[in-house]
Amino acid sequence: MDLAGIREALQHRPFEPFSMRLADGRSLAVRHPEMVAVGGRRVIVVQPDDSWSVIEPLMVVSLDYNGSNSQRG
C-alpha cells in the first residue's frame, strides 16, 4: 500500500472506519482519522488505549472496510 492510498482513506468524507491489515498478520483498527499520522515514510496509528504503532507503508497489505454503509470494494 502506498501513502497516497492511506491518505485517501483518511480523507474520505464521510469517514468510514477501517482496519489496516499488515503483512505479519496483525490488523490495526482505524476508528477515527485523527488517530493516524501519515509522514513522508511512516504511518503512526494510535489505539484507544493510547498504545501506538509505527508502520512501514509497504507492510500494509490491505485496508478493510467492514461497515454496513461501505461503498468501497
pLDDT digits (tens, 9 = 90+) for 4-42: 999 999 999 999 999 999 999 999 999 999 999 999 999
Q: What is the DSSP pairing of strand 36-38 with strand 43-46?
A: antiparallel
pLDDT surpasses 50 at 73? no
Pairwise CA distance, residues 1 & 67, whole Å? 21
Domains of the chain: residue spans and CATH: 3-63 (2.30.30)
Half-sphere exposure of 52 (CA within 13 A, CB side): 11
- Single pTM value for the model: 0.84
Which pLDDT does position 69 carry in this prediction?
47
